[in-house]
Amino acid sequence: MAGTPSVATDNIVANPSGEPQNFQFALISLTSLFFMWGFITCLNDILIPHLKSVFDLNYTQAMLVQFCFFGAYFLVSIPASMITKKFGYQKGIVVGLVIAGIGCMLFYPAAIVKSYPVFLGALFVLASGITLLQVSANPYVTLLGDPKTASSRLTMTQAFNSLGTTIAPYFGALLILSQATEAAANAEAVQIPYLILAGALFLLAAIFTFLKLPDIQTQETDEVVEGSALQYRHLVLGAVGIFVYVGAEVSIGSFLVNYLGEDFIAGLKEHDAATMITYYWGGAMVGRFIGAIVMQKVEGGKVLAFNAVAVMVMLAISMMTSGAIAMWSILAIGLFNSIMFPTIFSLALSGLGKHTPQGSGILCLAIVGGALVPVVQGVFADNIGIQLSFIIPLVCYIYIAHYGLVGSKPQQQ
Find the angle CA(357)-CA(361)-CA(367) to the nearest 5 degrees: 150
Lowest pLDDT segment from 40-54, 169-183, 264-278, 332-346: 169-183
Q: Is residue 224 part of a domain?
A: no
User: What are the distances in angstroms from CA 286 to CA 160, 291, 333, 337, 362?
Assistant: 10, 9, 12, 11, 28
Summarised one tens digit per residue, pLDDT across range 76-106 is: 877 887 888 788 888 888 999 999 999 999 9
* pLDDT tens-digit map of 108-143: 999 888 889 999 999 999 999 998 887 787 777 766
How many domains are contained in the chain? Answer: 1
Greater confidence (367 vs 153) lies with 367
Q: Which domain holds residue 9?
A: 5-213+229-407
Provide the sign of the torsion angle of the four alpha carbons 122, 166, 253, 243, taken in this order. Answer: positive
Q: Assess if residue 181 is contained within a domain.
A: yes
* 364 confidence band (pLDDT: 50, 70, 90): confident
Per the model's pLDDT, the better-predicted residue between 174 and 379 turns out to be: 379
395 vs 229: which has the higher pLDDT: 395
- Share of residues in the chain with pLDDT > 70 (%): 84
* Partners of residue 333 on adjacent β-strands: none
Q: Residue 222 falls within a domain, yes or no?
A: no
Cα 181 to chain centroid, rounded: 29
379 or 221, higher pLDDT: 379
The C-alpha angle 197, 201, 202, rounded to 5 degrees, equals: 120
For residues 97 and 29, the answer to whether their CB atoms sit within 8 Å is: no
Kindly state whether residue 276 falls inside one of the protein's structural domains.
Answer: yes
pLDDT of residue 4: 28
> Which residues lie closer than 8 Å to 181 by C-beta, 6 or more apart?
269, 270, 271
pLDDT for the residue 209? 86
What is the reported pLDDT for 261? Answer: 92
| CATH code of 139's domain | 1.20.1250.20
Instruction: Look at residue 219 and tell me if it is in a domain.
Output: no
Highest mean pLDDT among 37-41, 49-53, 98-102, 137-141: 98-102
List pLDDT tens digits, range 59-73.
Answer: 999 999 999 998 987
Q: What is the mean pLDDT of the chain?
A: 82
Percent of the chain with pLDDT strictly greater than 90:
36
**Pairwise CA distance, residues 143 & 6, whole Å:** 10
* CA–CA gap between residue 186 and residue 336 (Å, rounded): 35
| pLDDT score for 252 | 94
Q: Indicate whether 174 pLDDT > 90.
A: no
27 has pLDDT over 80: no
DSSP annotation of 232 reads B
Read off the DSSP letter of residue 173.
Answer: I
Residue 101 and residue 202 in contact, taking contact as beta carbons nearer than 8 Å? yes
> Cβ distance 67 to 44 under 8 Å?
no
Question: Per-residue pLDDT for 251 more than 50?
Answer: yes
In a domain, 412, yes or no: no
What global pTM score does this model have?
A: 0.79
Q: Where are the beta strands (DSSP E) in 125-279?
A: none
